[in-house]
Structure 1
Amino acid sequence: MRRNRQGGGRVRLAVACAATTAVLGPLVWLWQDSLLPEAYSVMDMGYADVGGGPPVAAAEHAAHSGGGASGHGRQEAAGRDVTELIADADLPADVAVTMVARKQRFTLPSGRAFEGYTLNGRSPGPVIKATKGQLVQVRLINESVPGGITLHWHGVDVPNAVDGVAGVTQDAVGVGKEFTYRFVADQAGTFWYHSHQMSHAQVRGGLLGALVVAPAPGKSAAEEDVTDVVALVHLYNGVRTVNGREGDVPVEAPPGARVRVRVINTEYGVMPAWVSGAPYRLAAVDGTEVNGPAPVQDKAVGVAAGGRTDIEVTMPEDGSPVRVHLGGPAGVVLGSKSYDAPAVSRPAATLDLLTYGTRAPLAFDPGKPDRRFAYDIGRRPGFLDGVPGLWWTVNGHLYPDVPMFHVSEGDVVRMRIVNNSGEAHPMHLHGHHAVVLSRDGVPATGSPWWVDSLEVGVEESYEIAFVAGNPGIWMDHCHNLPHASEGLTAHLMYEGVTTPFTVGGPDENEPE
């Protein structure tokens, strides 16, 4: 009997061990498989997606290297290094700025002290102003920001070498080092700049500023006679500011004057903006002019995270003030005799950019794309670099096993973005502007709606299109920056383009 009991105990122990192995074995494998190396190239991550088009050189190399988590491998064929994709080195700078970055305690224009980061001793950093066609040169010096810093030119389709993404287009600029950015401002509009090294912490901490590109000379007298106002909205420790100032920003505007308020949303969620005291026109979205903008009353406009909206107002002839609300009661107050414009609640209706403005032809045919891509956003439990959690997915895959979208220069690209993740995501493709074709299957019928930052709501789907006309390796990620750091990131990669930079490594490159 004793021998039988001992034998039965061994069997039960063996069964328990087998069951434990059956349960823990796959978890251990998944954990091990999720671990990232100390340094890796984004070219080595995920899998090649050619969008139904012909294979490109990097994708062919991936096929020979066996695919999988290191599917691309380094492309050995002759091509262009991202460091070669620069502005003409012989062009002199028309606008030259030096930015000194520091980690320090500083005082906002409102008088509130804040522990964070500054550019030239302030946050937001200085407004950079240029005219279309001018070459902008910015010398970035890191005096005391630990972990390094970069500057990304959000919404500006710069050459890839100066896109400012640590580990992809450059190394992070460490303490005591510097980096110079040079690009031609070839699109007039409202843009901004911010760090793309640990951006979820550094942007929130103050490493950001506005960039405004004015139209080239030759405007009509009516176009010249417009008051220009920058309104950069940012939260410092939960305190909403406009240009670093709490409360209203007063701006002098005489009766009958036209005023363009350049709204920049640097936060993580969509921000409503609306006007009381006069009708307004939505003049531009993400740096692109709206065709045939009609007057708007009693409607808010949603500004995506990272997005920009230019609101144009004609001041009342009786001299009464006008308030531009920016996500709440505070905002920009335009006036001459008085700035006593009471706050008005957000309108119930929101302007639909799918139908706003007048249709205009596109310079390409999105109905005949060379490549079609899917960017399906989801969420599931798993491991991200060994950490268990509920993580974002792209096309069902956890980072880094996400698609690398391959294109050839000149391709017409069509992409369908679907959000089944349970949270909204402002999607930002670097280096390109895309036109919105439809939302939830409903075609766009208004002005061409060009975006670089698109709010994709819960259970929404968008069809967008663009021409692959800016060679490089470009991030395509959620601009709710903590989401990007949690795996909601993919890349667009051009045929024959390679990068020598790695995420991690001695320069501690951490783009998100």
Structure 2
Amino acid sequence: MPSEHSAAEELDPHTGETGAGPTGLGAALRRHLRLWVAGVVALALVGTIGWMWAASLVPASYSPMQMGLMDAGGGPAVHLGMAHGTVPSGATGSGAGPRTESGVGPRPRDVTSFVEQRRGTPDVRLTLTARREEVSIPGGPTVTAYTLNGTTPGPTIRAAQGQLVEVTLVNESVPGGTTLHWHGIDVPNAEDGVAGVTQDAVTMGRSHTYRFVAERAGTYWYHSHQVSHEQVVKGLLGAVVVTPKAPDAWTGADTALVALSHVYAGKRTINGRAGETRIEAAAGSVVRVRVVNTDNGLMPVWVGGAAFRVLAVDGTEVHEPQEATGRAVLVPAGGRADLGVHVPATGVRVELPGAALVLGPAGAQTPAPTRKPAASVDLLSYGTPVALPFDPERATRHFTYSIGRRPGFVNGRPGVHWTINGTMYPKVPMFVVSEGDVVRVRIANKSGETHPMHLHGHHVVVLSRDGVAATGSPWWTDSLEVSQGQTVEVAFVADNPGIWMDHCHNLPHAKEGLVAHLMYEGVTTPFRLGRHSVNSPE
């Protein structure tokens, strides 16, 4: 049977087209063009990924001032110092960086110059020796922990308001170095304890001395800020209590005690003891229970079977707190809440998930556990208003701290990483202010997870949440939970010069890049980050 094509026009077995003539030649060219285009696209994709990978790499040694995108918050031009140029007026985190402009602005000051000015013999002096050792948790597991003076939590530091405190940290056996950060205490910048920003990590065999005046009465805590996602989890921490000058300055309680919560190997403890802790308290008395959340997540606390008030939040007294029976108090990671608990003759339980503090007269039966209430105290409307010491409506700088998440690289590691204002670490914001500025910050969480936000060296006041204005006692905080989908606006006065971290206190999140900085005009730091340094603040 004769073929439909001549011998010179045999069918291509793959395409069914003839291999000769104009039609066959065009098909071959199209095939080659498709292959060429696919190759170019593949090369472009590989090149783009390679460029993204290379661009994400953090230098082996770098200054924290080199990281990030300078943001002046729409305020006046800010002079960073002769070595670092000027952030123009209105510059934002969109990439507007410093321009060189020598000989203008304030004389640069090193963070090490911001020390406690008060001289003389300290009123409170102690040495804390840090070790890595095996510890048996009462009622809980035996763990490899980081201790201070042989215990975890470390000793509670107590001072009266206005006293000079001096603490010497000795690193006996903590590998990789360590520091002490005074969480919630607005110390001078050199005393902040952030490795690579305000000091070098204290390596084994060395020591470092911190000095500060306990200016504000309240409940605080201290912890490592070197490899903190590991050292804090393993117990390098303790409580700080600053009592008021006048004994009757705090009302609403007859006695006080610390309830520091920490989870060791999945077991929650109160003051280092798992399960229930019984403390004798007179019937009819009111006990101030200083709750401290040292873990990474939001922690509910509630009082079973008795009335209570929230007396203070993050070291600031609540104005005219109301009774809050039948509601939980949600304490963010790093946060503190002082509860005024009424003790009935039958005793009362202050409950946390997996642990409890039992208060009552000697011989009283232990009250039965209760479930966490469905409702919680809303600090946006709790208490009654009182005038603020500044006017947020006259803010000189406005910043946005928008938290997101997207695929990409952080220091060469692929993954789905946190973003701040659309960019990943280390291209995160450096919020630049001048001393005396009134600052407003809009924190928006679009990341899919909740975040406890902590600004070092300052307390902020919450103005609104999701557009609803605060109506209660001024909600001053240093550890603020911002839930997924929420937008919270806060304000503060820039009155503590330095370079300050502004990060998520879910410490693994900070390690993964959820960290920015607040930098004052004319302030520099000599300290370095990166693998060629000893410093790793997250």
Coarse TM-score class (shorter-chain normalised): over 0.9
Q: How has the CA–CA distance of structure 1 residues 236 and 481 changed in structure 2, closer, same or farther, with 3 Å as cutoff?
A: same
Q: How has the CA–CA distance of structure 1 residues 410 and 173 changed in structure 2, closer, same or farther, with 3 Å as cutoff?
A: same
Q: How has the CA–CA distance of structure 1 residues 456 and 339 changed in structure 2, closer, same or farther, with 3 Å as cutoff?
A: farther
Q: Aligned equivalents of 1:252 and 1:156: distance in 2?
A: 30
Corresponding residue SS for 1:27 = helix
Of 67-76 and 365-374, the range deviating more from structure 2: 67-76
Q: 1:115-134, aligned counterparts within 5 Å?
A: 115-134=144-163
- 2:315 is aligned to 287
- 1:35 is aligned to 57
Q: Aligned equivalents of 2:287 and 2:228: distance in 1?
A: 32
* Aligned pair partner of 1:21 in 37, 43, 52: 43
Superposed displacement of residue 176, structure 1: 0.7
Q: Aligned equivalents of 1:189 and 1:224: distance in 2?
A: 14
Q: What do residues 34-61 of structure 1 show as CA deviations (whole Å, max 9, x unaligned)?
A: 0110111111111111111001101981
Q: Aligned equivalents of 1:292 and 1:209: distance in 2?
A: 29
Q: Does residue 284 of structure 2 align to residue 259 of structure 1?
A: no
Query: Would the aligned equivalents of 1:333 and 1:339 in 2 still touch at CA under 8 Å?
Result: no
Q: How has the CA–CA distance of structure 1 residues 331 and 483 changed in structure 2, closer, same or farther, with 3 Å as cutoff?
A: same
Q: Aligned equivalents of 2:102 and 2:254: distance in 1?
A: 53
Query: Would the aligned equivalents of 1:110 and 1:244 in 2 still touch at CA under 8 Å?
Result: no
* Aligned pair partner of 2:350 in 311, 324, 327: 324
- 1:244 is aligned to 272
Q: 1:38-437, aligned counterparts within 5 Å?
A: 38-58=60-80, 61-62=85-86, 71=97, 78-88=107-117, 90-110=119-139, 112-219=141-248, 223=251, 226-316=254-344, 319-328=345-354, 330-336=355-361, 337-437=363-463
Superposed displacement of residue 320, structure 1: 1.2
Q: Does residue 479 of structure 2 align to residue 453 of structure 1?
A: yes
Superposed displacement of residue 104, structure 1: 1.1
Superposed displacement of residue 69, structure 1: 8.2
Corresponding residue SS for 1:33 = helix
Letter in 2 for 1:183: F
Letter in 1 for 2:403: I
TM-score (norm 2): 0.90
Q: Aligned equivalents of 2:341 and 2:252: distance in 1?
A: 15
Query: Would the aligned equivalents of 1:48 and 1:62 in 2 still touch at CA under 8 Å?
Result: no
Q: Does residue 530 of structure 2 align to residue 500 of structure 1?
A: no
- 2:13 is aligned to none
Corresponding residue SS for 1:483 = helix
Corresponding residue SS for 1:510 = coil
Q: Aligned equivalents of 1:74 and 1:40: distance in 2?
A: 19
Q: How has the CA–CA distance of structure 1 residues 333 and 339 changed in structure 2, closer, same or farther, with 3 Å as cutoff?
A: farther
Letter in 1 for 2:55: D
Superposed displacement of residue 403, structure 1: 1.0
Of 8-17 and 429-438, the range deviating more from structure 2: 8-17
Superposed displacement of residue 257, structure 1: 1.5
Corresponding residue SS for 1:40 = coil
Q: Number of residues paired by the alignment?
A: 506
Q: What do residues 179-198 of structure 1 show as CA deviations (whole Å, max 9, x unaligned)?
A: 00101000000000100001
Q: Aligned equivalents of 1:15 and 1:507: distance in 2?
A: 46
Say which one has the larger Rg. Answer: 2
Corresponding residue SS for 1:311 = strand
Corresponding residue SS for 1:29 = helix
Q: Aligned equivalents of 1:503 and 1:324: distance in 2?
A: 42
Query: Would the aligned equivalents of 2:78 and 2:87 in 1 still touch at CA under 8 Å?
Result: no
Query: Would the aligned equivalents of 1:44 and 1:73 in 2 still touch at CA under 8 Å?
Result: no
Superposed displacement of residue 402, structure 1: 1.1
Q: Aligned equivalents of 2:263 and 2:100: distance in 1?
A: 40
Letter in 2 for 1:35: L
Q: What do residues 329-362 of structure 1 show as CA deviations (whole Å, max 9, x unaligned)?
A: x211101132511100011111111110010000
> Share of identical aligned residues, percent?
56
Superposed displacement of residue 112, structure 1: 3.0
Structure 2 gap segments, 5+ residues each: 1-18
Q: Aligned equivalents of 2:140 and 2:439: distance in 1?
A: 48
Q: Aligned equivalents of 1:63 and 1:391: distance in 2?
A: 28
Structure 1 gap segments, 5+ residues each: none
Q: How has the CA–CA distance of structure 1 residues 225 and 345 changed in structure 2, closer, same or farther, with 3 Å as cutoff?
A: closer
Q: How has the CA–CA distance of structure 1 residues 376 and 224 changed in structure 2, closer, same or farther, with 3 Å as cutoff?
A: closer
Of 48-57 and 211-220, the range deviating more from structure 2: 211-220
Q: What do residues 446-487 of structure 1 show as CA deviations (whole Å, max 9, x unaligned)?
A: 000000000000100101000000000000000000001111
